[in-house]
Amino acid sequence: MSGLNRFDGTRALVTGAASGIGRATVQRLAAEGAQIFAVDLDAAGLASLEGMHTRVVDVSSETEVVDAVAAAAQVLGGLDVLVNVAGIHRTTPIDSLRVEDLTRLFEVNTVGPAIFCREALRHLPDHTGVIVNVTSSSAAHGNPYMSAYSASKGALLSFSLALAAEVVHRGIRVVPVSPGTVATPLVAGVSSDLDMSYYSRIRSFMGAADPEQIAGTIAFAASPDAAYLTGAEIRVDGGSHV
């Protein structure tokens, strides 16, 4: 861990906190002094987080999202930081793409984070409030068999940039962070008999990122060290697309 204390007194709501990037993020922020309200659909994963407030939430349910943000603000006494990590991944070749695939990916990867932002902005303080939305390098780079996933993450990226412009007058920062390949259960759970040779050509020489490496970037983006950063994507892909 960093040994820094950039988040002393900071109240943070983090989605997708039970595993992968989300889990690494709550651990990093807590290590730097933040009070955490962690949400995820995985009750068992949340139960293993010690010293944090947790809540099982389906991010595709508007009612559950609204209730979760209200609960976080009440339990923590307010909110300073929102980090949207929760997401799902599916390979969707165009010849077998279903409306259900598009709908589900957008519900979880775009609509859920957008509603979290809407609700959190009722509590985030002017001049110091921060939103970090985890998008993907796929949001701006074409990857085969990921048209639906890429579209959902591209929509979140565009949403984040537009939202940053909308709330800049309040001094609230919105920063999209776009990881490349990360060694998480989300990626490990994607199996396919498709020709994936394209991905060997864009694989980073640094290998897949550890969740902690992405969490470090998220922590920077949410911290006072990034006080002049808003409305700009941070791509963390080990140089895959240079």
Residue 4, domain member (yes or no): no
Residue 2, domain member (yes or no): no
Residue 6, domain member (yes or no): no
Q: Report how far apart, in Å, the C-alpha atoms of 194 and of each of 114, 148, 198 are.
A: 32, 16, 11
How many domains are contained in the chain?
A: 1
Q: What is the pLDDT along the chain (242 residues), one digit of tens a residue?
A: 456 899 999 999 999 999 999 999 999 999 999 999 999 999 999 999 999 999 999 999 999 999 999 999 999 999 999 999 999 998 899 999 999 999 999 999 999 999 999 999 999 999 999 999 999 998 888 888 889 999 999 999 999 999 999 999 999 999 999 998 888 765 544 555 666 665 555 665 566 679 999 999 999 999 999 999 999 999 998 877 77
**Please, what sign has the CA dihedral across residues 212, 215, 219, 225?**
positive
Residue 241, domain member (yes or no): no
- Domain extent at residue 39: 11-236
Residue 99, domain member (yes or no): yes
Q: For residue 220, what is the domain's CATH number?
A: 3.40.50.720
198 is catalytic: no
Contact 219, 193 (CB under 8 A): no
Residue 172, domain member (yes or no): yes
What would the DSSP string read from start to end of 25-91? HHHHHHHTT-EEEEEES-HHHHHT-TTSEEEE--TT-HHHHHHHHHHHHHHHTS-SEEEE-------
The answer for residues whose C-beta is within 8 angstroms of residue 136's C-beta and 6 or more apart is 149, 150, 153, 178, 179, 180
- pTM summary value: 0.91
Active-site annotation holder among 145, 149, 199, 228: 149
